[in-house]
Amino acid sequence: MRQAQSLVMTPQLLQAIRLLQMSSLELSAWISDELERNPFLEAESPDSPARQAEDNRRAGVDNAPAAEGDAATAERPWDAAELETSRAALESNLDASLDNTFDPDGPSLAYAGHALSASRDRPDDTDPFARLAAAPDLRAHLRGQLGAARIAPRLRLIAAVLIDAITDAGYLDADTAADLDGLGQRLGVTRAEVDAALALVQGFDPPGVGARDLAECLAIQLREKDRYDPAMAAMVARLDLAAKRDFAALRRICGVDDADLADMLRELRALEPRPGRPFETAPVTPLVADALVRRGTKGDWIVELNSDALPRVLVDRAWYARVARAARGEAEKAFVSDAWQSASWLHRSLDQRARTILAVATEIVRQQEGFFARGVAHLRPMTLKSVADAIGMHESTVSRVTANKSLGCERGVFEMKYFFSAAIAASGTGEAHAAEAVRHRVRQLIEAEKPDAILSDDALVRMLRADGVDIARRTVAKYRESLRIPSSVERRRRKGAVG
C-alpha cells in the first residue's frame, strides 16, 4: 500500500481555468447565460452602490460611500422590503411595456427594410431593428434586381442559383466558378445558358459582381466605364507585373509610353477589387483594455482594472433566504442548494480572476517601464517564466491570464502578449534587446531610406550592429517579411516608379 497526493480536476476547477483565459467579451456572454440559469445571480446596474463607489473613486470623489465587495463582484444588502418594492416596480414596468407593444393604436413596425415608424423623427435613433433592416446583404440586393429583370423563367432560375453562389466579397465561389459545366448538368441546362445567366448577373449593380477572379472583376468595371481597350486588356491580363511594379515590362506588353502607363495605373487603382464591400456589415470588435495604466502624481505608474470591461454580478442573499425557506421537496432543496453554491463559486472565481489579471498586469508594467515612458524602442526581453517567478504563479497560469487580454495606456491599447518578446544578444557587453524593439528599428530604418539609397538586408544588418544589436541577415529578412515590407529590389522599383 502507498499513500500519495494528486490534484483532482473538478468541474468547478476546470471552469475556473476557462474563466481565466476568456476575453472580456467572452466572459460577458458566459455570465449572461449564467444569469438566465441561476435565480440568485443578478447583473450589477450602473446605479448600484459598488459601481457608484468605483465611478466616484475614478472621478476623484473622496466623500463617496464605501462599497462592499471587491473589484470584480459585490453583494447586495439584505433588505426584503426594498427587494419586494423593486420587483413590483419591475413587473409593473414590464406589463406597461407589453401593453404598449401590442396596442393596436400604438407605434407599429414597418416591413422589408424600413425603420420603426415611431422613431423616424428622432435624430439620435438607436433602434437596433432599424439599423439591421436598413442595409440588405449583397445577395438580397442582387435578387431584387433579378426580380425586376424581364427574362425567361429558365434563365431566371439559373441566375438565382448563381446569385446564391456569390460570396460576401462579390465573387462567384471557387467551386461553382471551376465547374460551370457541372452546374449546367445539375440544372439540366446547357453551358451556353449558364454563360448567359452569368453575364446577366455580372451586369447587375455593384459593378464587378459575379466575377470568377480579380482580372474578370476589373475587366467588368472597365467595360462599364468604356475603358477596356486593348492596352488596358493587356495590363489586366498581367496584374502580376503591376503588383511587382515591373513597369518596364508593362510598357512593352501594353505598347504605351510612361505617361499613358501612369494614367492606366491610376485608373486601375480607382477600381474596386471587392465589389461586395459596401454590403459587408460585419461588426468590428474593438480592442477593450482589461487593465489601465496611468502615471501617478509622483511619476510612478498606477495599474488598475478597467471597470467598464469587468463583468460584475450581484449575489442576491435576500432572495436565496426566501426561496430556501419556501422549498419543500427534496428536489427543490437540491436545486436551491446547487444554485446557491454555483452563485457563490462564481462570486469567488470572478474575484480571483480580477486579482490575477491585476497582479500580472502590474508585473508587466514593472518590467516594461521603459516602454510606457519612452516607447517601443525601449521594450525589454520578457518571458512568461520571468513574470511567473516574480509574482509566485505557475507559468501556465500567466499564459492563460495574458491570452485574449489587453493593456491600455497613453500610447494605445496593446495585447498583453505583445510585451513578451524574445531576447536578441547585444554586439558588445550591453543588455540584450527585445525582438519587438529590433523589429520596430528595422521599420524605422526602411521608412527613413531615400529613393536613391535603398537599404539592402546586409546594409540593415550593418546599421543594427552599429547600434549594438548582434543580428543575422536571415533574422532581418524574417522581421522585414513579418512587417510586410517588400525586398530592396521591389522598394527601389516602387520609389523610383512613374506616377
Q: What is the dihedral of CA 171, 176, 177, 182, to 10 degrees?
A: -160
What's the pLDDT at 40? 85
- What is the helix (H) or strand (E) element at residue 304, kind and residue range? strand 301-305
- β-pairing verdict for 41-43 and 412-415: unpaired
Residue whose C-alpha cell is 493587356: 234
pTM above 0.95, yes or no: no
Nearest alpha carbon to residue 441 among 473, 472, 405, 476: 476
Nearest alpha carbon to residue 339 among 41, 31, 42, 69: 41
Nearest alpha carbon to residue 19 among 34, 4, 6: 34
Residue type, 178: A
Contacts of 136 (CB under 8 A, 6+ apart): 113, 144, 279
Per-residue pLDDT of the chain (499 residues; tens, 9 = 90+): 888 776 555 666 777 778 888 888 888 888 888 888 888 888 775 555 545 555 555 444 444 343 333 434 444 443 444 434 444 443 444 344 334 333 333 333 222 332 223 333 334 444 444 444 445 689 999 999 998 888 999 999 999 999 999 999 999 998 888 899 999 999 999 999 999 999 999 999 999 999 999 999 999 999 998 889 999 999 999 999 888 888 889 999 999 998 889 889 999 999 999 999 888 765 556 678 899 999 988 888 999 998 887 777 888 888 888 888 888 888 888 888 888 888 888 888 888 889 999 999 999 999 999 999 988 888 999 999 999 999 999 898 899 889 889 999 998 899 999 999 888 888 777 788 888 899 999 999 999 998 888 999 999 999 998 888 888 899 999 999 989 898 888 888 777 654 4
**Dist. CA 382–CA 395, nearest whole Å:** 13
State the DSSP string of 148-196: HS---HHHHHHHHHHHHTB-TTSBBPHHHHH-HHHHHHHHT--HHHHHH
The set of long-range contacts for 160-166, using a CB threshold of 8 Å and a minimum separation of 24, is 161/187, 162/194, 162/197, 162/198, 162/201, 162/210, 163/139, 163/201, 164/139, 166/138, 166/139, 166/142, 166/201, 166/209, 166/210, 166/276
List beta partners, residue 295. 301
Residue whose C-alpha cell is 522598394: 491
Structural domains present in the chain? 138-279 (no CATH), 423-495 (1.10.10)
**Dist. CA 222–CA 435, nearest whole Å:** 46
